[in-house]
Structure 1
């Protein structure tokens, strides 16, 4: 067997440029590029390998594009966003130095794993030889020298390994590719590389670097599972579909729409699944759960059968186990992963969403829900359309609400443009009121709801969808968490639009605090000797000027008329733009039709807390396990 002598870092890059994914006959590079922040640990290992690849006029397998981000968490968020926008068919690798650089990636790893998104992480590590011990930035464990800071990645990774000998790289990277391309098990893949091992040479077999194509599975459903599911659907009077991200990732949107049209079964959606069915479809009833729309939640409350498609049933989707109130409710779950398919004691259809919908549609040929149920769906949809229009055009004074901003964006953005958000009160408002017409348009990270996701995500999405307008909606709180990838966006000349809503505080947590008896304590950006739950002098923080210092063009607006004009101006530009608008800190929000379990102190000397506790106990009575 012929061999080639490479360092471990060089072998990593040469291997990755030869890995491809294949889905429905279409091949593409699995690892589209490398994000890397270099420091002691990787600058002379993976960093040298990327340089060598860059300088080689004809590298084996091709070039590995490289981008220099500013924050390790930010680059993993960007990789996750790229993977999400690519329907999990591609991702980026991320490399960091040891110690704090490595641990900065842990939050990003959790974002990827909770959202079932493939990212490939190479955190550097302490010396495998322990020649210098302890090395700079090493976390020492007096109980075991085997413990390293990178062990923190274990609970947030779908695959974890630490390479302490060069030959270990061969089976490890093969397993890493398996996980990245597995529709059921994908998430963060972490391969920790001790800094001495990165630079160590080894005679790797040439075959290791041959082109490999990893086919993304479409598991077909078992015949008996489809028959049982169809029997349950035929026996239900008020069935409801809950469509999650798995519908989109399996490219099953067309099949979902056809299935709904044929059967008349209403389709609700999760944050990850919005857009799988177009909002103007006669069976589309909007978001379901804690921040859902009234049509979906009213139908969920009476549903005797819930058909989950590609959903993991988060507490927001189930309204903390209070959404599905019919005492006789049962579940059919279509999911590529048995772990999610088994939830709520469901009839399991472990299969690709598209394949299952095709099979189930054929089995249910001639079936349709009762006309009375279809009439109820139509009535609820019409009522919610009026409500949505009302909240999108409230024309509040003196400051507009964020709902007005969302409504304007929804009307002005194209079907293939992308709106991005992740945290605060915005995801709830968007799930309730945003009318998504395509699977591509709505990009919400709400499995981990990570503040600071939006700006690096805009970079990742733009890399994945270069022809789309990419709009990241960012609150002033989120902006202050992780703005530094704006510099990377400018450096890479990526055209994105940042919509910055300035309300001088944490609107979402402030509202939650107030509704749970804690009076918005510690949620307002104020200065001076005032209580932390009261208004005071505004902070002299100028986010618009700060964004200009990163290199963005900033359009400052005050009214909705100005906002609409600014958006059209930003559309016409060829560089990164921020539209800065002040919005009301306190509401309004869409009318609540559900609940979310946030415990309230059982005893308190504060009257507002005692009142909130009484309300909480009453709401909790509807909570139950679905068995």
Structure 2
């Protein structure tokens, strides 16, 4: 006779989550650290009751915004190398809809987060309930169906016993290194409270092993053969290297065979920037060194990369007519990209097996002589230059020459803020200050580009940038998750004014939880990255600068809109600073490090002073027809570059 336990669906779910473990390289830990909650009528008396009565070892956190708390969960899982995670629950309706954006962010970045939104009644007896969307053609549809497009696994529990197969499948996906992301289990609010006699074995301790997938002998042979044929290979270090924990293995491999590597946003920070084989960021937001070497490479060894358009510069970057691709990826889907040689395997195991076979065949050395060293030295000097750019008045030379009247904007900005501090100079001060025991968090706007191009990584795993979805509002909220993952480190959220205003909901949560984070806010009164994009393609500053509506023109071309972000953060209980010079920034950083509560440094930086591209191209949909000569020129240039790019 099978022993059973009578529990509600919600109680069974909580008990199940408490007994899930992850094992990687024989190291075992609890799979779920806790659950972020915002309770509403759709989940409070069901899942909320279960968590109040017997949460087990799950820590319950109170979120302020459903998207924000889910970004915190994602930040935690990413910093924990996907080996431990959080669940997130909301009520049905707007609460669930708020989490859809975060689910998309998790899936785009292959980060495991378990979403548990409440749902409409399975019985439909009280329909339409509060916050229910009625679709006349299909009454089974609810807000939670929106999660289907952004989840790697989706299910709805309409009977208590369905929980068992649903959760087993949820664990399968959450621990799948090749295909993880958001997992959504929708919980109708009546079913949450319904009881069922669950078999005891459903609650047994389960250890989910994340295995290192080995390559086949044929894959190894094919990979080694193509490497030995090539003289100028380059490695792309992607996020798969990070989650495989293969940074040291890649470093040794690169040095042994004299193969330089460029870093994607997800792969950055595994190996220090001063390593002689590390060329830094690659692609559209990459730097001078990696992009220069990439154009001449005859073999691209993509390790754990999704080959996004930013990494490949819209498939334009690799200009050598003889270039081939060797794709090492645990995901078969990503390994098939660019028609490359596919090596479907764990990154560390793959590199070790290639190394063994190269040794067996007498070794290998690339054909580089002094190109790598020269490229690094040249780019290091360029970073020094960027870090020391100061406004010099009328003769100030912007990073990009265009027909836009920057001086007018600079003077207006200075009159309002008193600042002539450039963004790249502020970044230099920050980089000089952060030497050890820190993590930098970023996601959107111009800052991720500046960080990938010019940030010098001085400590392993200190670089945490979400760029798979580049989601505005990730920065501050994910910083809380990072701090929860590594409480001994100083965590710095690099965020623009636009992203801060979009979402910083878990900043007060950081105060509540006594988890200090440092918000480094770059205020240029502009959606700076997109402003730069439109100006660079022949447009003016249309709808990207923060300006009052002009009564005379009827357009948003009045004076700039000032915001006191320090005052905003102070209202939550943060220690705040206002900065207009590099000296003030240095002082603020020193003092902020002494604080026990979260801090915000409100830096007023000149608009249009971000770093710009280095030998890259990015395809955007430039207008084919226009009366503007600059737009016509941009379209012609775009068309020319497209002819040089790989078509698929």
TM bracket, shorter-chain basis: over 0.9
Find the aligned partners of 1:182 and 1:370 in 2 and give their Cα distance: 35
Find the aligned partners of 1:391 and 1:574 in 2 and give their Cα distance: 33
TM-score by structure 1 length? 0.96
Q: Which moved more, 1:433-442 or 1:373-382?
A: 433-442
> Does residue 320 in structure 1 map to residue 314 in structure 2?
yes
Aligned to 1:434: 455
Aligned to 1:393: 388
Q: Is the 8 A contact 1:509 1:520 kept in 2?
A: no
Find the aligned partners of 1:414 and 1:160 in 2 and give their Cα distance: 43
Shift of 1:29: 1.1
Taking structure 1 as reference, are residues 300 and 533 closer, same or farther at Cα in structure 2, changes over 3 Å only? farther
TM-score by structure 2 length? 0.93
Aligned to 2:537: 516
Q: Which moved more, 1:333-342 or 1:613-622?
A: 613-622
Find the aligned partners of 1:108 and 1:588 in 2 and give their Cα distance: 27
Q: Which moved more, 1:509-518 or 1:168-177?
A: 509-518
Q: Is the 8 A contact 1:263 1:369 kept in 2?
A: yes
Structure 1: stretches of 5+ with no match in the other structure? 55-61
Aligned to 2:147: 153
Shift of 1:557: 1.7
Per-residue deviation, residues 464-491 of structure 1 (Å, max 9, x unmatched): 0111110001111001100221111111
Find the aligned partners of 1:586 and 1:425 in 2 and give their Cα distance: 10
Q: Is the 8 A contact 1:416 1:468 kept in 2?
A: yes
Shift of 1:542: 1.8
Q: Is the 8 A contact 1:416 1:440 kept in 2?
A: no
Q: Which moved more, 1:527-536 or 1:320-329?
A: 527-536
Q: Is the 8 A contact 2:233 2:366 kept in 1?
A: no
Taking structure 1 as reference, are residues 381 and 169 closer, same or farther at Cα in structure 2, changes over 3 Å only? same
SS at 1:537 equivalent:
coil
Find the aligned partners of 2:366 and 2:497 in 1 and give their Cα distance: 48
Aligned to 1:3: 4
Structure 2: stretches of 5+ with no match in the other structure? 393-418
Find the aligned partners of 1:114 and 1:374 in 2 and give their Cα distance: 38
> Does residue 128 in structure 1 map to residue 150 in structure 2?
no
Q: Of the candidates 534, 542, 549, which is equivalent to residue 564 of structure 2?
A: 542
Aligned to 1:33: 34
SS at 2:311 equivalent:
coil
Q: Of the candidates 462, 466, 471, which is equivalent to residue 483 of structure 2?
A: 462
Aligned to 1:190: 184
Find the aligned partners of 1:447 and 1:523 in 2 and give their Cα distance: 23
Give the root-mean-square deviation of aligned CA atoms.
Answer: 1.5
Per-residue deviation, residues 295-325 of structure 1 (Å, max 9, x unmatched): 1111111111100100000000010010111
Find the aligned partners of 1:377 and 1:611 in 2 and give their Cα distance: 35
Shift of 1:22: 0.7
Find the aligned partners of 1:126 and 1:45 in 2 and give their Cα distance: 13
> Does residue 270 in structure 1 map to residue 264 in structure 2?
yes
SS at 1:526 equivalent:
coil
Q: Of the candidates 513, 516, 525, which is equivalent to residue 546 of structure 2?
A: 525
Find the aligned partners of 1:41 and 1:534 in 2 and give their Cα distance: 41
1:367-386 matched pairs, under 5 angstroms: 367-370=363-366, 373-386=368-381
Find the aligned partners of 1:540 and 1:404 in 2 and give their Cα distance: 22
Q: Of the candidates 488, 491, 494, which is equivalent to residue 509 of structure 2?
A: 488
Find the aligned partners of 1:442 and 1:50 in 2 and give their Cα distance: 34
Find the aligned partners of 1:533 and 1:252 in 2 and give their Cα distance: 53
Shift of 1:63: 2.1
SS at 2:456 equivalent:
coil
> Does residue 448 in structure 1 map to residue 486 in structure 2?
no
Find the aligned partners of 1:498 and 1:87 in 2 and give their Cα distance: 23
Aligned to 2:54: 53
Q: Which moved more, 1:227-236 or 1:114-123?
A: 227-236
Taking structure 1 as reference, are residues 532 and 226 closer, same or farther at Cα in structure 2, changes over 3 Å only? farther
Taking structure 1 as reference, are residues 560 and 281 closer, same or farther at Cα in structure 2, changes over 3 Å only? same
Q: Which moved more, 1:118-127 or 1:601-610?
A: 601-610
Find the aligned partners of 1:367 and 1:377 in 2 and give their Cα distance: 20
Shift of 1:580: 1.1
Shift of 1:573: 1.3
Shift of 1:609: 2.3
Q: Is the 8 A contact 2:549 2:556 kept in 1?
A: no
Q: Is the 8 A contact 1:72 1:104 kept in 2?
A: yes
Shift of 1:617: 1.9
Taking structure 1 as reference, are residues 42 and 328 closer, same or farther at Cα in structure 2, changes over 3 Å only? same
Q: Of the candidates 69, 82, 88, which is equivalent to residue 88 of structure 1?
A: 82
Shift of 1:547: 1.1
Q: Is the 8 A contact 2:42 2:118 kept in 1?
A: yes
Q: Is the 8 A contact 1:248 1:439 kept in 2?
A: no
Taking structure 1 as reference, are residues 342 and 438 closer, same or farther at Cα in structure 2, changes over 3 Å only? farther
Shift of 1:256: 0.5
Taking structure 1 as reference, are residues 126 and 591 closer, same or farther at Cα in structure 2, changes over 3 Å only? closer
Find the aligned partners of 1:32 and 1:591 in 2 and give their Cα distance: 41
Find the aligned partners of 1:401 and 1:180 in 2 and give their Cα distance: 42
Find the aligned partners of 2:554 and 2:528 in 1 and give their Cα distance: 14
SS at 2:254 equivalent:
helix
Find the aligned partners of 2:291 and 2:530 in 1 and give their Cα distance: 23
SS at 1:204 equivalent:
strand
Q: Of the candidates 201, 204, 212, which is equivalent to residue 210 of structure 1?
A: 204
Taking structure 1 as reference, are residues 374 and 411 closer, same or farther at Cα in structure 2, changes over 3 Å only? farther
Find the aligned partners of 2:197 and 2:593 in 1 and give their Cα distance: 52
Aligned to 1:585: 607
Q: Is the 8 A contact 1:78 1:456 kept in 2?
A: yes
Q: Is the 8 A contact 1:427 1:444 kept in 2?
A: yes
